[in-house]
């Protein structure tokens, strides 16, 4: 059981570079989410998706884009990386939005220098 | 009042002791509640749901107080492996119906 798989685990970007954080789940969950977690802070929702072809903004979407072409995959795109995007990024999936049973990936630690 | 509020701690507790921490929420219409555990530099994992009548899972007891709008987590006979950050999670039943994570309470179990 892979659950939610995120790649890469670590990445250093230079200011202005772009990258895609990959997220895949094998639980056939319709709902998927991207969060960021800054040191000592809580999780902030970036984007979420309620199913293939449907995405919506969360609390902090600026500087990011997402797509959901399949149920399994939910990549997060960073365009023109900025130091403020230095954070740990977690992808999660769930059977329903309000169920509370979110499964998280192991995270991507991103540093922008 | 913040939607979900937790004492950030840290709580430094000797091994074997009992420790409890609370989480308050602002939306009285909230319907479901959870505790997650996050180890250092790891992802959050669901610890337990919180039911209206209170519930136990081994050494862990979760309770809900709707009148005062808080949930609590009690850990008995604490182990070194209980050291982690405990996140309070609330389903506010708003239009978007997405759960809200608290910032967490850090717990250190001392040998």
Q: For the segment A18-73, what is each residue's pLDDT rounded down to a tens digit?
A: 999 999 999 999 999 999 999 888 899 999 999 999 999 999 999 999 999 999 99
d(CA B23, CA A97): 21
Interface residue A52 vs chain B (CB under 8 A): no
Average pLDDT of span B86-96? 78
d(CA B93, CA B24): 16
> Which chain A residues are closer than 8 Å to B43 by Cβ?
90, 104-107
Within 13 A of A109's CA, how many CA atoms are on the CB side? 6
Strands (E), A1-113: 4-7, 10-13, 19-25, 31-37, 43-51, 54-57, 64-66, 76-78, 87-94, 103-104, 108-112
Q: What is the per-residue pLDDT for B94?
A: 58
Interface residue A74 vs chain B (CB under 8 A): no
């Amino acid at each position: 059981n892979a659950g939610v798989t995120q790649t890469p685990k670590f990445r250093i970007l230079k200011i202005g570079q772009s990258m895609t954080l990959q997220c895949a789940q094998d639980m056939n969950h319709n709902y998927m989410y991207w969060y960021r977690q800054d040191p000592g802070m809580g999780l902030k929702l970036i984007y979420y998706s309620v199913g293939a072809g449907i995405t919506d903004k969360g609390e902090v979407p600026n500087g990011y884009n997402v797509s959901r072409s399949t149920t399994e995959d939910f990549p997060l795109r960073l365009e023109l990386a900025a130091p403020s995007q230095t954070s740990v990024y977690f992808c999660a999936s769930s059977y329903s939005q309000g169920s509370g049973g979110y499964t998280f990936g192991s995270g991507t630690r991103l540093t922008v220098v | 009042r913040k939607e979900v509020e937790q004492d950030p701690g840290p709580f430094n507790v000797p091994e074997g002791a009992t420790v409890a921490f609370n989480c308050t929420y602002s939306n009285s219409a909230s319907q479901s509640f959870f505790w997650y555990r996050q180890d250092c530099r790891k992802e959050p994992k669901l610890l337990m749901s919180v039911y209206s009548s209170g519930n136990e899972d081994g050494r862990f007891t979760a309770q809900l107080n709707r009148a005062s709008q808080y949930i609590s987590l009690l850990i008995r006979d604490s182990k070194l492996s209980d050291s982690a950050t405990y996140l309070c999670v609330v389903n506010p039943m708003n239009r978007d119906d997405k759960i809200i994570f608290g910032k967490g309470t850090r717990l250190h179990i001392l040998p």
